Amino acid sequence: MSSSDYHCRVAVFGATGLVGRTMLKVLEERNFPVTDIVPIASARSAGQAVQFKGQDYIIQVPSKEAFQGVDIALFSAGATASKQWAAVAAAEGAVVIDNSSAFRMDPDVPLVVPEVNPGDIFKEDGTPEHIIANPNCSTIQMVVVLKPLHDLFGVKRVVVSTYQSVTGKGKVGRDALESELAGEKQDEYTHFHQIAFNAVPQIDMFTENGYTKEEMKMVNETRKIMGDDTLSISPTTVRIPVYGGHGESLNIELAKDFDIDQVRDLLAASPGIILQDDPSARIYPMPLTSYERDEVFVGRIRRDYWHPQTLNMWIVADNLRKGAATNAVQIAEVVNTKRK
């Protein structure tokens, strides 16, 4: 069968959410070889329709029957739903690409960023794993940048501070900011505190070690994706009042010395990265830069003034796209290379 004749049936579980809708959009934009779309969501959305390539598709509730005949199932309905339905979909023959936290640290489930570890998608016999986990949004954009640096210089330690948009919490996060900006009374703050005109240094709940769950995701997921448990990652995650695009300030200690121009050339030539690094002309990444884009934008590259073999940089990516939907679709594209 030629690639032009190849098509597959794709389910999108969580099709009415921000990430689910973005998945549908990315599938269409990237001309993924879809023969049929199966949108799935909770019972309150059943009977509604979503559009794909100009056609309406009726939303189904999750069931064994809904996953029958599905080749690839993109999950973005939360960890509880994934734990309940991923195995069901996989048993029906689908390759499940899960955007929740349900399986990320499961040693039997690959955690994949296609620019970093695409080989982890497949078993030893060359067939794709039944369930593949999509990493946390803040982890994805960081490892895209760390990978080429680690390959050439060796990464020893990363200090990362994130500036994460409200859409990282989905539609409820965006709606909370809009409600606050409209001056509506808040019975409870979605982002723990007022987010309008503010910055909240807490994403998810705190753990016993003083770090939040979001911060520990960055530590554990990065080590798993990079295949290196010796990596030292020290994160602080912060929510800011922008609608889309996560920013990250990285301080990266390398095992070997480097030349700044060499670093710029390396990153500019690496897959999934766009270099925007001309501070004298006020050219550097911003959340608006990344809007509706699939790449990780990198700038403000400079040597750490006080620490040898250490550099600083600023990176930004669209959290709904590369941080979630696009990465999942890219995994599906790699899966399809073995199906054709």
Same structural domain for residues 299 and 222?
Answer: yes
CATH number of the domain that residue 251 is part of: 3.30.360.10
Same structural domain for residues 98 and 202?
Answer: no
CA dihedral 311, 312, 316, 322 (to 10 degrees): 30
Per-residue pLDDT of the chain (340 residues; tens, 9 = 90+): 344 455 799 999 999 999 999 999 999 999 999 999 999 999 888 889 999 999 999 999 999 999 999 999 999 999 999 999 999 999 999 999 999 999 999 999 999 999 999 999 999 999 999 999 999 999 999 999 999 999 999 999 999 999 999 999 999 999 999 999 999 999 999 999 999 999 999 999 999 999 999 999 999 999 999 999 999 999 999 999 999 999 999 999 999 999 999 999 999 999 999 999 999 999 999 999 999 999 999 999 999 999 999 999 999 999 999 999 999 999 999 999 876 5
Same structural domain for residues 124 and 151?
Answer: no
Residue 8: active-site member: no
Residue 246: active-site member: yes
Same structural domain for residues 107 and 167?
Answer: no
Same structural domain for residues 58 and 192?
Answer: no
Sheet containing strand 8-13, edge to edge, reads 34-40, 8-13, 72-75, 95-98, 131-133
Same structural domain for residues 225 and 306?
Answer: yes
C-alpha 32/C-alpha 336 separation (Å) is 10
Structural domain including 129 reads: 3-135+324-337
Verdict on whether the full-model pTM lies above 0.75: yes
Q: Which of 137, 150, 193, 307 is catalytic?
A: 137
Same structural domain for residues 189 and 295?
Answer: yes
C-beta neighbour count of 107 within 10 angstroms: 6
Q: Which of 8, 150, 191, 246 is catalytic?
A: 246
Same structural domain for residues 158 and 306?
Answer: yes
Same structural domain for residues 174 and 312?
Answer: yes
Same structural domain for residues 87 and 20?
Answer: yes
User: How do strand 8-13 and strand 34-40 relate by DSSP bridges?
Assistant: parallel
C-beta neighbour count of 302 within 10 angstroms: 14
Residues in the chain: 340
Quote the Cα angle for 13-327-92, to 5°.
40
Same structural domain for residues 112 and 175?
Answer: no
CATH number of the domain that residue 40 is part of: 3.40.50.720
Same structural domain for residues 144 and 277?
Answer: yes
**Domain tally, the chain:** 2
